[in-house]
């Protein structure tokens, strides 16, 4: 197990290196020169060249790449072209809204979807099952921004229960933090609830047909415990897999949600950085995202060993 | 007379309206006295499992008891409400199942699964439950219960798992134990041990046992009384000797006549040209060294064999003995690690895939499970002509020979347009045999080809295989775990254990005078070996 973990962690290095090369080339090969943007509309050639030199963009690409990697190894992610701040500080100040939003969404999703899917499986073919599956189809078909604006319209504008937009730091009060995050999380959660409820239903249905469920009933076990103790635990591996993937997709998908709800998180930072051709910031954020992906995948694999004693690495 | 622990009277369970008959079981009446083992026997679909599930209240929702009663120590379980039924299960009636791997929860420790019974029905504390679980594990003769109690099912052997199931069922000392094919999935030596254990437990505790099986050998071993079922009805019941030796109903007589005998018929040695010649065949799974994980299994170790044209060589052994591995190597479905396989003098052990193709048609396999070895979405005709067409035979010609093959295996040629689900298990196995013959092979491998079939169907398919072998002068490799079947069809026998051939000789000699200890063990473990079924039949 320890050696497996070590191997997996070592294996992240080439993955991250590949992402680094890819994002580095992508930025430099797409049109748009950061120096021109920083210099503004009325700058002349010399000024632009000066800025380019200051940012190190006049060096050959290979040199630029190795300077960047070399600095990163020492923990220096560079300075943002646009904000004139250390990229690491920039990310640190923006990570809280993103993590808050993603975590709250996942918590909402799991608490709604897993019981829903289990119930649908247990009552297979009933009106409850059909209702839940109907909702699931609907949830799949609606884009996040439609749900988001619909929720804002209903709860914020019509009913006035919740704030329209914005973010409050958790240190300034949990109540306000939660209140402002509730709508965006709910909007994001809908599609994942639809997905994970379906997955849970399928997985539990399959397990309910297994012999050990019959054994549990032959023991005189109550239906609730048959479901919780025998069915759900055996159905857990595929469910946990999609929850993990959902979390990874969420972190990547915050770009849209944060724009809709103007949350000052990493998603918004990415949008701003891309518009400003802020190379160091874009590179660092993308690398961070891919690192989180790799980490989540590792966590999913490790969780298997906890859920199923037959799986050992 | 003592009051029976189970008294089923006129039980009828209705099938849904689209079923193939009105009732799954009809007017079933049987009793089980304390300390008595009653075997319910019948072929698949006879309704024996439905009867058992009805008593336990475990019928699927689609099946409803519509008449009769099932009196468990005088209390009708069919009329009991859900709460009462739950209270009865485990305490007064308990059940063990066919497949101990799937009947145990794979993610819970075996100790927890025993203790769960106590948790549901008693007020014992966690430590008391654990102590009781260890105690019952000792009683079913599990080694080192203090350690094994924390194991997961997959860490135990098949026999140990079934012992755990028995421990779960008996921990609360129920009056009635229902055993639904409890030894069918086990190897023959393990089966013998589990049968002994069930007998021992039942004698010690005076439990009444309703034992469901399709295996008459097992019936001969264990039954006090026998109930024979067919198409949901009881056709005959009586004491073990009455039913096995002097069956009255024609159906029972037919069944008894179908049970293959443990005595091989006399056979003249087949002297033909060598069709298969295998020397020093080994197959290793897993890899050592830098990229392997170090786990290595030698599935076949230095196996040497030959089969002549027109001859049947049987390979017998328990699960994991390597018998299927050898067959798969000879068909080159897998590549052997070492050794030579010669087919009519051509070495095929090391041939690369491209040059192997012409040889593929010469070796054909019939697999165990006819339900899974035919593509459910292709018609029988398409399945039959696929291989010939692949080998360049025009479609019309392939179809014409498919029609005659269907007739050869005893099916109508008009059935070519139908799909596999429209056939019974025995018919499907006939189709699989026709498919194998479609490319005119020299070698036919039957890998447990009759093991999944009911005994009456099994006899017919065996006869068909033997006919075909004789008609086409085929070399047949017959893989089986069933000694009775092997005795009847094989010219020579090879006994394998843990990848090694431990005995090899003419069938008659191996049965009469086994040289190897393991062979003796296998022969002794065969259930009902001393019984000649239907021997004392009243004419």
For residues B199 and B316, membership in a common domain is answered with no
DSSP conformation class of A169:
-
- Residues pairing with B312 in the sheet: B476
- Residue contact B104–A212, C-beta within 8 A: yes
Give the three-class secondary structure for B52: helix
B263 touches chain A (CB under 8 A): no
- Residues pairing with A149 in the sheet: none
B115 touches chain A (CB under 8 A): no
- Residue contact B105–A214, C-beta within 8 A: no
In a domain, B28, yes or no: yes
Measure A248 CA to nearest chain B CA, in Å: 27
- Residue contact A215–B87, C-beta within 8 A: no
Domain count, chain B: 2
Nearest to B444 by CA among B327, B286, B285: B327
Q: Is B504 exposed, middle or buried (0-12, 13-18, 19+ CB in 10 A)?
A: middle
Token pair recorded at residue A184: 């965006």
Edge-to-edge order in the sheet of strand B274-285: B297-308, B274-285, B338-343, B346-347
CA distance B50 to B229: 11
How far the first Cα of chain A sits from its last, in Å, is 6
Rg (CA), chain A: 24
Measure A195 CA to nearest chain B CA, in Å: 25
In a domain, B489, yes or no: yes
In a domain, B13, yes or no: yes
CA distance A92 to A115: 35
Q: How far, CA to CA in Å, does A152 sit from each of A163, A188, A259, A266?
A: 8, 13, 14, 22
Identify which of A211, A216, A307 has the shortest CB distance to residue B99: A211
- Residue contact A309–B103, C-beta within 8 A: no
- Residue contact B120–A219, C-beta within 8 A: yes
Question: Would you tell me how many other CB atoms lie within 10 Å of the CB of residue A75?
Answer: 7
B106 touches chain A (CB under 8 A): yes
Read off the pLDDT of residues A51-77 as tens digits, 9 standing for 90 and up: 888 777 888 888 888 888 888 888 788
- Residue contact B105–A234, C-beta within 8 A: yes
pLDDT value of position A218: 92
The topology under which CATH files domain A98-307 is MetI-like fold (1.10.3720)
Q: Do A220 and A165 meet the contact criterion of CB atoms below 8 Å apart?
A: no
A257 touches chain B (CB under 8 A): no
Q: What is the interface size between A and B, counted as CB pairs within 8 Å?
A: 71
Identify which of A219, A230, A233 has the shortest CB distance to residue B89: A219
DSSP conformation class of B420:
G
For residues B331 and B198, membership in a common domain is answered with no
Chain A residues with CB under 8 Å of B152 CB are 309-310
pLDDT value of position B538: 37
Q: List the single best residue of A203, A210, A215, A231 to mutate versus B (max B Cβ within 10 A).
A: A215
User: Residue A108: pLDDT above 50?
Assistant: yes
- Residue contact A219–B117, C-beta within 8 A: yes
Nearest to A163 by CA among A270, A263, A93, A254: A263
In a domain, B220, yes or no: yes
Average confidence (pLDDT) over A122-131: 92
Report how far Cα B183 is from the mean position of its chain's Cα atoms.
9
Measure A210 CA to nearest chain B CA, in Å: 7
- Residue contact A215–B97, C-beta within 8 A: yes
Identify which of B90, B107, B154 has the shortest CB distance to residue A219: B90
Measure B90 CA to nearest chain A CA, in Å: 5
Where is the domain boundary, B223, B240, B256?
B256
For residues B246 and B362, membership in a common domain is answered with no
- Residue contact B97–A211, C-beta within 8 A: yes
Where does residue B113 fall: left (phi above 0), alpha (psi -120 to 50 degrees), or beta otherwise? alpha
Measure A245 CA to nearest chain B CA, in Å: 23
pLDDT value of position A160: 81
Q: List the single best residue of A209, A220, A304 to mutate versus B (max B Cβ within 10 A).
A: A220
A206 touches chain B (CB under 8 A): no
In a domain, B276, yes or no: no
B84 touches chain A (CB under 8 A): no
Measure A243 CA to nearest chain B CA, in Å: 20
Max avg pLDDT among A21-30, A255-264, B113-122: B113-122
Token pair recorded at residue B411: 């099916």
- Residue contact A220–B120, C-beta within 8 A: yes
Q: Enter the ipTM.
A: 0.79
Measure A103 CA to nearest chain B CA, in Å: 28
Token pair recorded at residue B68: 């009769």
- Residue contact B86–A220, C-beta within 8 A: yes
What mean pLDDT value characterizes chain A?
Answer: 86
For residues B248 and B135, membership in a common domain is answered with yes
Which residues 6+ apart lie within 8 Å of B85 measured at CB? Answer: A220, B57, B77
Domain spans, chain A? 98-307
Phi and psi, residue B133, nearest 5°: -65, -45
Question: Which residue of chain A comes nearest to B177, CA vs CA?
Answer: A218
Measure A239 CA to nearest chain B CA, in Å: 15
Chain B residues with CB under 8 Å of A310 CB are 106-107, 152, 154
A1 touches chain B (CB under 8 A): no
Question: Which residue of chain A comes nearest to B96, CA vs CA?
Answer: A215
Q: Do B434 and B373 meet the contact criterion of CB atoms below 8 Å apart?
A: no
B259 touches chain A (CB under 8 A): no
- Residue contact A310–B154, C-beta within 8 A: yes
- Residue contact B86–A221, C-beta within 8 A: yes
CA distance B176 to B173: 9
B90 touches chain A (CB under 8 A): yes
In a domain, B469, yes or no: yes
CA distance B150 to B136: 14
B343 touches chain A (CB under 8 A): no
The CATH number given to whatever domain includes residue B316 is 3.40.50.300
Rounded (5°) CA angle B299-B300-B304: 170
Read off the pLDDT of residues A202-259 as tens digits, 9 standing for 90 and up: 999 999 988 999 999 999 999 999 998 899 989 998 999 999 988 888 887 777 778 7
A312 touches chain B (CB under 8 A): no
Question: Which residue of chain B comes nearest to A225, CA vs CA?
Answer: B120
Q: A106-123 as b/e, with b when 16 or more CB fall inside 10 Å? A: bebbbebbbebbbbbbbe
Question: Which residue of chain B comes nearest to A231, CA vs CA?
Answer: B105
- Contacting A residues, span 277-296, partner chain B, CB-CB under 8 Å: none
Nearest to B525 by CA among B246, B280, B303, B193: B193
pLDDT tens, chain B, 539 aa long: 678 999 999 999 998 877 777 888 999 999 999 999 999 998 888 888 899 999 999 888 888 899 999 999 999 999 999 999 999 999 999 999 888 888 999 999 999 999 999 999 999 999 999 999 999 999 888 888 999 999 999 888 888 999 999 999 999 989 999 999 888 878 888 888 889 999 988 888 889 999 999 888 899 989 999 999 998 999 999 999 899 988 999 999 998 888 888 888 888 888 888 899 999 999 988 765 555 555 678 888 999 999 999 999 999 988 888 898 999 999 998 889 999 999 888 888 888 888 888 888 889 999 888 878 888 889 999 999 998 998 888 999 999 999 989 988 888 888 888 888 888 888 888 999 999 999 889 999 999 888 878 888 888 889 999 988 999 999 999 999 888 899 999 999 999 998 999 999 999 999 999 999 999 999 988 888 777 776 654 33
Give the three-class secondary structure for A228: helix
pLDDT value of position A151: 86
Read off the pLDDT of residues A150-185 as tens digits, 9 standing for 90 and up: 888 888 888 888 887 778 888 888 888 888 888 888
pLDDT value of position B294: 59
- The DSSP-derived string for A86-142 is BHHHHHHHHHHHHHHHHHHHHHHHHHHHHHHHHHHHHTTTSHHHHHHHHHHHHHHHS
- Residue contact A220–B104, C-beta within 8 A: no
Residue B320's domain spans which residues?
Answer: 309-336+349-525
pLDDT value of position B537: 41
CA distance A246 to A199: 12
Alpha helices in B206-249 (DSSP H): 216-222, 240-245
């Amino acid at each position: 197990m320890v050696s497996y973990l070590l191997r997996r962690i070592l294996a992240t290095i080439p993955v991250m290196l590949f992402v680094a090369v890819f994002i580095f080339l992508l930025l430099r090969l797409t049109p748009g020169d950061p120096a021109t943007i920083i210099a503004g509309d009325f700058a002349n050639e010399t000024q632009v060249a000066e800025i380019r030199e200051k940012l190190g963009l006049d060096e050959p690409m290979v040199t630029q790449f190795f300077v960047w990697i070399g600095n990163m190894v020492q923990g220096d992610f560079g300075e943002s072209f646009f904000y004139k701040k250390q990229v690491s500080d920039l990310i640190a100040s923006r990570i809280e809204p993103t993590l808050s939003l993603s975590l709250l969404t996942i918590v909402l999703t799991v608490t709604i979807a897993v019981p829903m899917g289990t119930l649908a499986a247990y009552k297979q073919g009933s009106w409850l099952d059909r209702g839940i599956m109907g909702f699931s189809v609907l949830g799949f078909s609606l884009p996040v921004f439609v749900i988001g604006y619909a929720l804002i319209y209903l709860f914020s504008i019509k009913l006035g229960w919740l704030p329209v937009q914005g973010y409050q730091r958790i240190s300034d009060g949990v109540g306000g933090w939660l209140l402002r995050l509730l709508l965006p999380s709910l909007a994001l959660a809908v599609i994942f609830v639809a997905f994970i409820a379906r997955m849970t239903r399928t997985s539990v249905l399959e397990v309910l047909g297994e012999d050990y469920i019959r054994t549990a009933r032959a023991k005189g076990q109550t239906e609730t415990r048959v479901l919780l103790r025998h069915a759900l635990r055996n159905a857990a591996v595929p469910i946990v897999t999609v929850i993990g993937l959902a979390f990874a997709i969420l972190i990547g998908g915050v770009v849209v949600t944060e724009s809709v709800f103007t949350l000052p998180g990493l998603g918004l930072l990415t949008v701003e950085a891309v518009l400003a051709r802020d190379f160091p910031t874009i590179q660092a954020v993308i690398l961070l995202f891919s690192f989180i992906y790799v980490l989540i995948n590792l966590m999913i694999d490790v969780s298997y060993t906890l859920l199923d004693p037959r799986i050992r690495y | 007379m003592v009051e029976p622990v189970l008294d089923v009277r006129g039980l009828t369970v209705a099938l849904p309206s689209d079923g193939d008959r009105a009732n799954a079981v009809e007017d079933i009446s049987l009793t089980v006295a304390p300390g008595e083992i009653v075997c319910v026997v019948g072929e698949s679909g006879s309704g024996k499992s439905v009867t058992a599930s009805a008593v336990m209240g475990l019928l699927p929702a689609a099946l409803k008891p519509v008449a009769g009663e099932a009196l468990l120590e005088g209390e009708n379980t069919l009329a009991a409400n859900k709460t009462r039924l739950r209270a009865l299960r485990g305490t007064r009636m308990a059940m063990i199942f066919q497949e101990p791997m799937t009947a145990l929860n794979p993610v819970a420790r075996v100790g927890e699964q025993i203790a769960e019974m106590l948790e549901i029905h008693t007020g014992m504390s966690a430590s008391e439950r654990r102590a009781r679980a260890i105690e019952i594990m000792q009683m079913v003769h599990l080694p080192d219960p203090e350690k094994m109690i924390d194991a997961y099912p997959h860490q135990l052997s098949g026999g140990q798992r079934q012992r755990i199931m028995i421990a779960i069922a008996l921990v609360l000392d129920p009056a009635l134990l229902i055993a639904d094919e409890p030894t069918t999935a086990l190897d023959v030596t393990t089966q013998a041990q589990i049968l002994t254990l069930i007998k021992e437990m039942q004698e010690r505790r005076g439990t009444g046992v309703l034992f469901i099986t399709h295996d008459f050998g097992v019936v001969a071993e264990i039954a006090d009384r026998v109930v024979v079922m067919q198409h949901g009805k009881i056709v005959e019941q009586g004491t073990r000797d009455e039913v096995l030796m002097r069956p009255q109903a024609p159906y029972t007589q037919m069944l008894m006549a179908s049970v293959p005998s443990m005595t091989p018929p006399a056979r003249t040695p087949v002297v033909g040209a060598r069709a298969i010649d295998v020397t020093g065949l080994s197959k290793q799974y897993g890899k050592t060294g830098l990229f392997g994980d170090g786990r290595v299994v030698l599935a076949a170790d230095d196996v040497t064999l030959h089969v002549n044209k027109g001859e049947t060589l049987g390979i017998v052994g328990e699960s994991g003995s390597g018998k299927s591995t050898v067959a798969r190597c000879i068909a080159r479905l897998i590549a052997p690690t070492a050794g030579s396989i010669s087919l009519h003098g051509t070495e095929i052990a090391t041939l690369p895939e491209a040059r192997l193709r012409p040889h593929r048609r010469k070796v054909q396999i019939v697999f165990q499970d006819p339900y899974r070895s035919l593509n459910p979405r292709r018609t029988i005709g398409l399945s039959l002509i696929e291989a010939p067409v692949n080998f360049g035979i025009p479609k019309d010609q392939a179809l014409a020979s498919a029609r005659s093959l269907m007739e050869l295996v005893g099916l109508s040629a008009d059935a070519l347009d139908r799909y596999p689900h429209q056939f019974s298990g025995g018919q499907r196995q006939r189709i699989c045999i026709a498919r194998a013959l479609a490319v005119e092979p020299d070698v036919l491998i039957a890998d447990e080809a009759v093991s999944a079939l009911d005994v009456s169907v099994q006899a017919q398919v065996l006869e068909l295989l033997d006919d075909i072998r004789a008609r086409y002068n085929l070399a047949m490799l017959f893989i089986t775990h069933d000694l009775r079947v092997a005795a009847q069809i094989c010219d020579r026998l090879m006994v394998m254990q843990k990848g090694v051939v431990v005995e090899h000789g003419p069938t008659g000699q191996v049965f009469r005078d086994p040289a190897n200890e393991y062979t003796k063990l296998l022969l002794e473990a065969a259930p009902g070996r001393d019984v000649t079924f239907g021997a004392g039949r009243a004419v």
